[in-house]
């Protein structure tokens, strides 16, 4: 439950529309304001989150996975569902613009 709450909080924070990038140093990261719209965050032991922002800042897609797990879970600002992919470290589809749906193809299954 804590991870779901953290994921929801991160989705709200990153949906504000500014671009950030991660600079990795010895397992830590620093956020810098850049034009790179992709961000990977390590949430806890072996759990990571991938974030992609639309170039206009009006949409995002996000995916999470455990490095020892078998599935990747994802959603976007334009989708009301959470999708899963049979495999780990799968990048989410490109971020949609505004309320449009992300392009989750047939390899992604709705929960």
- Is 55 in contact with 36 (CB distance < 8 Å)? no
* pLDDT above 70 coverage of the chain, percent: 62
* pLDDT above 90 coverage of the chain, percent: 16
Nearest alpha carbon to residue 23 among 15, 14, 13, 33: 33
For residue 95, the Cα-to-chain-centroid distance in whole angstroms is 9
Counts of helices then strands in the chain (DSSP H, E)? 1, 8
**What pLDDT, on the 0 to 100 scale, is given for residue 73?**
93
Q: What is the pTM of this model?
A: 0.62
Q: Where are the domains of the chain?
A: 2-13+32-110
């Amino acid at each position: 439950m804590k991870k779901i709450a953290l994921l929801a909080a991160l989705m709200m924070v990153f949906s504000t529309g500014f671009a950030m990038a991660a600079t990795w140093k010895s397992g830590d990261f620093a956020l810098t304001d850049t034009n790179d719209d992709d961000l990977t965050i390590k949430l806890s032991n072996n759990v990571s989150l991938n974030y992609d922002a639309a170039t206009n800042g009006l949409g995002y897609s996000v995916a999470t996975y455990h490095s020892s797990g078998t599935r990747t879970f994802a959603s976007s600002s334009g989708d009301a569902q959470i999708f899963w992919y049979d495999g780990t470290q799968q990048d989410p589809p490109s971020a949609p613009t505004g309320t449009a749906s992300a392009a989750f193809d047939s390899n992604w299954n709705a929960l």
